[in-house]
Each structure stands twice: as C-alpha cells, then as structure tokens.
Chain A
Amino acid sequence: MDISFPAIIFQAINFGVVAFVIWKFLLGPIQKVLEERSARVEQGVKAAEANLKKEQEMDKRVKQELQASRDEAREVIAESKKQAEKEATAILEKARQQAKKSLEGEQRAFEAKMHKEAKDLENKMADLVTQATKQVLAGSLTDAEQKKIIDSQLKQLKGMSLA
C-alpha cells in the first residue's frame, strides 16, 4: 500500500473542515443543551432540597405542635383532676356539715322534747300533790284545829305590819 502525501494533507484538511463544522455548528448547541439540562437538573435538585428542607421543617413544626398539644392536654387533664378532687372534697365536707347540723338539730329537738316532758311531769306531780293536800286539809280540820292555827298566826302577826 502506497502512502500518498497529498491525499494525507487533503484528508487532514478535510478532517479539519469537518471538525470545524462540528465544533462550530454541532458542539455549541449540544453543549448548550447539556448546560441547560445540567442547569435544570441542578435547579430540580435545589428545588428538591428546598422541598425536603421545607418538609423537614414542617415535620419538625408538626412534631412540636403535637408535643405542645400533648403537654397542654396533660395539663388540662391534671388541672381537671385537681379541680374534680377539690370539688369532691368540698361536696364531702358540705355533706358532712349538713349531716352534723341535722344530727345536732335532731339532738336539740329531742332534748327540748325531753325537757318539756319532764316539765309537764313535774307540773302534773305538783298539781296532784297540791290537789291532794287541799282535799285532805279542806275536810279534815276541826274547829279546834282551826282555832289553834289562828292562835299560832296571832303570834306570827306580832312581827308583821299592815301600815
């Protein structure tokens, strides 16, 4: 195989022209497309990262709010429990006081009743005694005894005065 120098030069020039044409008209747009694609990918990555960050922040905020809600719920439950215990104690105390008052009232009423009955009995006895004394004395004193009483009272009169 013979090597033709002019053919080599022609081929070289030919290659150079093709390379220039490719560089000038094909490489630029391809590179531009590649750069645009790269930029779009980068933008997409950035957007995805931003979304991820936003999502993480949202997640964090949700967790925080959830925790805050749990804390608040716990506080509300604790406060309600405390309030319920306080009210239960107050109700018990009130009931105890009412029972005591009622018992005292009943006791007082019972004592008053007993006192009245005792007084009634005393009065009844006093009536019986005086009635019996009257009946016994009214018919039993003789004139001599009446005179004796009068004489005795005349002696008593010495110490008294009508003036």
Chain B
Amino acid sequence: MNTPHNTLLVESVIPLTKDQLEQIKALTRDKTISQVENRVMPDLIGGMRLSLRGKVIDLSLKSRIINLRAKLA
C-alpha cells in the first residue's frame, strides 16, 4: 500500500471528516504535505495510525493491545 511521497496516510476504523483530516495535517506542521488520504481499517479496533514517508505514529487500539501483551509476558 504505497502512497505518493508527500501524501499523509491516515488509517482509522471509521472514516474521518474533512475537518479532522485538515486538523491532522495542521498538527504535523509539515508544509511539504500535498494531500491527506484516509483509509478505513477495521483491523485497528480503534483510534488511528499516521504514516508519512516511512515514518509512522501508531495510536490505534490494536497497537496498544500489542504493547499490553508484550508487557504481560
């Protein structure tokens, strides 16, 4: 699932509003972002995951559960 170089990919369980996507773009403070793409990923369980040029901020409940599993073991 490759995205263009300057595209910010936002994955979430429910589709985000334009306003939310703009908010996210603004929060990244990256002027080079040309567009924001939202993909619906029920697998994430909850929350969202941002990807830009190979860098990822994973705020999904899935990743939280995975971290919890690692701490429990």
Residues of A within 8 A of B (CB): 122-123, 125-127, 129-130, 133-134, 137-138, 141, 143, 145-147, 149-150, 153-154, 156-158, 160-163
How many angstroms between the C-alpha atoms of A125 and B30 in the bound complex? 43
Secondary structure class of chain A's binding surface, majority of residues: helix
Q: How large is the interface on B (under 10, 10 to 19, 20 to 34, 35 or more residues)?
A: 20 to 34
Residues of B within 8 A of A (CB): 8, 12-14, 16, 20, 23-24, 27-30, 45-48, 50, 52, 55, 57, 59, 61-62, 65-66, 68-69, 72-73
How far apart are A102's CB and chain B's nearest CB, in angstroms? Answer: 34
**What are 10 pairs between A and B in contact, CB < 8 Å?**
A129-B68, A130-B69, A133-B65, A138-B45, A147-B14, A150-B48, A154-B20, A162-B55, A163-B29, A163-B30
Total A-B residue pairs with C-beta atoms closer than 8 Å? 74
Inter-chain pairs besides A123-B73, A141-B45, A162-B57, 17 sampled, C-beta below 8 Å: A122-B73, A126-B73, A127-B69, A137-B61, A141-B13, A146-B46, A150-B48, A153-B47, A157-B24, A157-B27, A157-B50, A157-B57, A157-B59, A158-B27, A162-B28, A162-B30, A163-B29
How many angstroms between the C-alpha atoms of A154 and B19 in the bound complex? 12
Q: Which 5 A-B pairs have the closest CB atoms?
A: A126-B72, A130-B69, A126-B73, A157-B27, A146-B14
How many angstroms between the C-alpha atoms of A138 and B13 in the bound complex? 10
Q: Which residue of B lies closest to A124 (CB)?
A: B73
